Amino acid sequence: MLTLAIIAVTCIVSFLAFNKPRLMDDLILWPPAIQRHREYHRLVTYGLVHADFGHLLFNMLTLYFFGRLMEQFYTAELGRLGFLLFYLGGLLVSILPTYLKNRRNPNYHSLGASGAVSAVLFSFILLSPWSRIIVLVVPMPAILYAVLYVGYSIYMDRAGRDNVNHSAHLWGAAYGVVVTLLVEPRVFGYFLAELSNPRM
């Protein structure tokens, strides 16, 4: 399965980078490296490295639980590599606004697969809005989590009180919704029908 392969590669590279600062430096999103040296691979490879084990664990658990269903969907719609293309696109699209905003900022760094994972999660919510998910041990419908997640990310992005790239979360979520609807427009009608039939 592509989902498991993505998780395996991300975990291996992240663990290696924890102990190899040079590898971390080569993969992390650092705008001057792209601006000056044309190291465009960083627009994707930043998603292979994480700040710490907790950061990695949260992203990979989320990808594991929701990626498998979306892999089936994208394989059916786009072929064997459909989900991989969707995931890589999520990494790229979710970070582009941040990169463009900070492209001349030598002090800016970004890392982690959160943008692509948000894309996977929100595409899943389109297909199954009333699925019960666990958020910090609290069960809730997926659609409620989506609303809270977007609201929180917008607030924190504007507040700028932490080192988390909330903008990437939002752009990743938007990418997941838009691309899923472009790939299969009938999903929108299905989503509305599901919303009108709550199952708590």
Residue 161 has pLDDT above 70, yes or no: no
What is the pLDDT confidence band of residue 36, given thresholds at 50, 70 and 90?
confident
Tokens of 1: 């399965």
Q: How confident is the model at residue 21 (pLDDT cuts 50, 70, 90)?
A: very high
Question: 184: buried, middle or exposed (CB in 10 Å: 19+, 13-18, 0-12)?
Answer: middle
Average pLDDT, the chain: 90
pLDDT for 151 beyond 90: no
For residue 200, pLDDT beyond 90? no
Range of 56-60, 151-155, 165-169, 195-199 with top mean pLDDT: 56-60
Residue-level pLDDT at 103: 86
Share of the chain above pLDDT 70, in %: 95
pTM value? Answer: 0.92
Mean pLDDT of the region 84-90: 97
Are the beta carbons of 25 and 46 closer than 8 angstroms?
A: no
What confidence tier does 164 reach under pLDDT thresholds 50, 70, 90?
Answer: low
- Among 91-105, 113-127, 152-166, 181-195, the range scoring the smallest mean pLDDT is 152-166
The SS3 call for residue 185 is coil
pLDDT confidence band for 162 (50 / 70 / 90): low
Decide which of 108 and 17 is more confident.
Answer: 17
> Is the predicted pLDDT of residue 167 greater than 80, yes or no?
yes
Q: What is the pLDDT of residues 112-149, one digit of tens each?
A: 999 999 999 999 999 999 988 876 777 888 888 888 88
Q: How far apart are CA 16 and CA 159, in angstroms?
A: 33
Phi, psi at 134, each rounded to 5°: -105, 120
How many whole angstroms separate alpha carbon 36 and alpha carbon 137? 45
